[in-house]
Amino acid sequence: MAVYNGGFPVGYQPYQMPYYNQPQFQQQPQQPSAMTPPTIRAEIVQVDDEIAASNYPVAIGTPQMMISKDEKCFFVKTSYANGQYQLDVYEKRPPKAQRAAPDLSAYVTKEELEKRLESLTGGHGGPSREESDG
């Protein structure tokens, strides 16, 4: 006796007609904004020190970031096909000191300037502000 699958023999795949009238939507890849820098994702491996970073196995041509356990420096190791490697060391530094507020004691205020000009001209330097407005 033959085994049937919903009225069809086992293994039967019904033919599906392609939909020629249905519009085909292709998702356009999103272009990053001109203002957005590219995002680089990196796996950072924790190592004991610079010696451990230099001994860490890295795939040829693939840079590997590492950080020391005390977080005082970062390492980037790149291996080359000839068996050599390059280890770049970046030491962590404290942030730059913020700029101190300027010393305004060397500057003259408007009132001080007006008093000084008045003393130099003897109070007769020209029309006062009230006289020139009216």
For the entire predicted model, the pTM comes to 0.46
More confident position, 119 or 9: 119
pLDDT score at 84: 92
Highest mean pLDDT among 34-43, 69-78, 112-121, 125-134: 69-78
Q: Report yes or no: 45 and 66 within 8 Å, Cβ to Cβ.
A: yes
Dist CA 78 CA 88 (whole Å): 9
pLDDT score at 77: 95
CATH class of 40-92: alpha beta
pLDDT score at 133: 52
More confident position, 53 or 33: 53
Q: Tell me, what DSSP letter sits at residue 48?
A: S
C-alpha of 38 from chain center: 8
Can you give the residue ranges of every domain in the chain?
Answer: 40-92
| DSSP letters spanning 64-113 | EEEEETTSSEEEEEEE-TTS-EEEEEEE--PPPPPPPPP-GGGSPPHHHH
